[in-house]
Amino acid sequence: MTSPDFPALSITEIQSVLEQTSASKLDDILLHTSVPSTNDELWKRLAEGKTTPAVCLSESQTAGRGRRGDHWHSPHAGNLYLSIFWPFPAEMTKNGLSIAIGISLINTLKDEGINGLQLKWPNDILYKRQKLAGILVESRFGIKQHTVIGIGLNFKLPAATKNQIQQPTISLQQLCTTVPCRNRLAGKIIHNMIETLELFQHSGLNHFLPQWPNYDALADQTITLISDHDKLTVQARGINDQGELRYQHNNMLHTLSNSHVSIRFSS
């Protein structure tokens, strides 16, 4: 079952958009009608001994998740649920990877004529403070540092789904006069993610840091940091070269690397 607004996802159509340089680096493109989580399907593949780059897509997820284990609502509505498995060198630090992927995703959507998007540290794509997409980075260590990056991108959000989500959301259907083809856009996103992962592996955040001020949704905003035991109202002050959030509190500058802290706009 797919949404009547959107043709079904197709490996053939996705591959037709992938440039050969990227297609040759993927051993698998897995496509499902429904899975608990596209990230988990790739971890299952690793458990079977497959350690090469791969992509998994699904029309829906029954147990999709976001940062801090939050539930990612994943209905059969023609959205994009996509994950990529990538083996990094074991000794490599991946500070700021979600920022690099987020900037790559914004740039991909910008090429489709979708402007005005921002990145809310560390992993949410927003339009006027409404969430369009989220990124989830997970890693497991062994001989390699195996990493799965999941993207959830809203093409269409049924009213029933929007009512279940605890924050303002938006979809491409609301943003675009003509919504991009899901298969073509998925192919472009995969290609750009692979380019981003290779660039990040070579030089970390260096290539992406100059772009950050253009997309920083929190820039100089009053925000509230919410942990399990505390709430703190602070001023956001960009990021450092490790991708950590800088914030000012009581005239002192601090950094936040713990993405398990929830961040809300205070005004």
Domains and CATH numbers, the chain: 11-212 (3.30.930.10), 218-265 (2.30.30.100)
> Among 45, 65, 67, 182, which one carries the catalytic annotation?
67
Q: In this predicted model, what pLDDT tens digit does every residue of 133-148 receive, in sequence order?
A: 999 999 988 788 999 9
| Interval 105-130 mean pLDDT | 96
Q: Which two tokens stand for residue 123?
A: 């992993």
Cβ-contact 256, 244 below 8 angstroms? yes
Higher pLDDT, 197 or 5: 197
pTM, two decimals, is 0.91
Is 231 annotated in the active site? no
Q: Please state, rounded to an integer, the average pLDDT across all residues of the chain.
A: 89
Cis peptide before 158 (omega within 30 of 0): no
Cβ-contact 243, 81 below 8 angstroms? no
Question: pLDDT class for 2, splitting at 50, 70, 90?
Answer: very low
Q: Which two tokens stand for residue 94?
A: 């991946």
Higher pLDDT, 65 or 243: 243
Residue 267: per-residue pLDDT: 77
Is 264 annotated in the active site? yes
Residue percentage of the chain with pLDDT more than 90: 73
Looking only at the bridges linking them, the beta strands covering 54-61 and 28-35 are parallel
For 37-167, list the strands marked E by DSSP: 54-61, 80-89, 117-120, 124-127, 130-141, 144-153
Is 131 annotated in the active site? yes
Q: In this predicted model, what pLDDT tens digit does every residue of 202-259 receive, in sequence order?
A: 999 999 999 999 999 999 999 999 988 889 999 999 999 999 999 999 999 999 987 6
Backbone angle region of 265, left / alpha / beta, with phi > 0 → left and psi within -120 to 50 → alpha:
beta
> Among 45, 65, 120, 131, which one carries the catalytic annotation?
131
Report CA 15 to chain centroid distance, whole Å. Answer: 21
